[in-house]
Amino acid sequence: MKGMTRGELAKRTGVSMATLRYYEESGILPAPGRVANGYRIYSEDYLVKLKFIKDAKSLGYSLKEIREVLQMLGSEMDAESLKARVRNKISEIDERIAVMQAIQQMLAGLLETPQDEIRDYLQSFRTEHKE
């Protein structure tokens, strides 16, 4: 059987051996074939799958989402289903951007707070209030 050991696959992809093991144990990657001595042997397909995983992670997909997409890609997934998943991810990213922009605006507004109000606010943390 021709292929790569886990160490060779790790070197070629820049993914640690521990991460490869985790991906197999969690079902993100299928278990590879084994040779007579028990070593796992990975085919060239694993290079493609690991590139997909790395790319998907950089695009904000969770490992759960990646596992689901890989399972779908391994079945009879059609182009429209894949596009629908991508559209959903774009919507999620748009929502996160809107939240981050709202936080940014709130923080920018805090910079407009008058100095005396900020001083009073900070003082409330530094001394006990006497009634």
Whether residue 71 sits in one domain with residue 82: no
Full residue range of the structural domain in which residue 22 is found: 1-77
Q: What is the pTM of this model?
A: 0.67
If asked whether residues 58 and 122 sit together in one domain, one would say no
Rg, the chain, Cα only: 25
If asked whether residues 65 and 83 sit together in one domain, one would say: no
- Together in a domain, 69 and 97: no
Examine the domain organization and report whether 62 and 11 are in the same domain.
yes
- Total count of domains within the chain: 2
Residues 94 and 115 occupy one common structural domain: yes
Q: Are 9 and 50 spatial neighbours (Cβ–Cβ below 8 Å)?
A: yes
Residue 81 CA to residue 74 CA, distance in Å, equals 13
The two tokens of residue 125 are 């943390």
CATH of residue 6's domain is: 1.10.1660.10
Q: Are residues 90 and 57 in the same domain?
A: no
Q: What is the pLDDT along the chain (131 residues), one digit of tens a residue?
A: 578 999 999 999 999 999 999 999 999 999 898 888 888 899 999 999 999 999 999 988 899 999 988 888 888 778 898 899 889 989 999 999 999 999 999 999 989 999 999 888 888 888 665 55
